[in-house]
Amino acid sequence: MSYITLKQAAEATGLNEVTIRRLCKKPESKPHIDLKKAKNGFMYTIQTNYLFDIYPPVKQESEPVYTKGDIDYSSIDIEPIQSYTSLLAAKDEIIELLKSEIAYLRAENVSMREENRELKILSEYKIENGTNSASIQEVKKSLWKRIFS
């Protein structure tokens, strides 16, 4: 178990040191507080797990924030850019293949719809004219009867 001083606890939680002292004085906090000898007397330390259960730590910015003017584009290495050009060319080829596949599937879909329309017209014609009574009954049979008969 790690312990930190009250000043470190205040910095870690973003609270005032007095607030951390009040927490230490509560009776339920006594098992999590340790008293250590320092130069000028005694120093309180608090268990970090207990402290962060009560007061969550403040998120500290570990990376500096860059603005548009901070970035120096003159030092960009040319080599990685060349490796990306081959990837982009491969991506373009894949896109063209997918576009041709889409065009083929659309044409196939149109032909299937036309064939479906023709079959509907043909079945309606047979039913209206009554040319073949067996074919009329087959058209009216359910799917399961056609499969298993």
Domain ranges of the chain: 3-54, 79-139
| CA–CA separation, 23 and 21 (whole Å) | 5
Higher pLDDT pick, 1 / 88: 88
Q: What's the chain's average pLDDT?
A: 80
Q: To which H or E segment does residue 43 belong?
A: strand 41-47
pLDDT higher than threshold 80 for residue 68:
no
pLDDT higher than threshold 80 for residue 97:
yes
Question: What integer pLDDT is reported at residue 62 of this predicted model?
Answer: 58
CATH code, residues 3-54? 1.10.10.10
| CA–CA separation, 47 and 31 (whole Å) | 9
CB 79 within 8 A of CB 86: no
pLDDT higher than threshold 70 for residue 113:
yes
Tokens describing residue 120: 């509907």
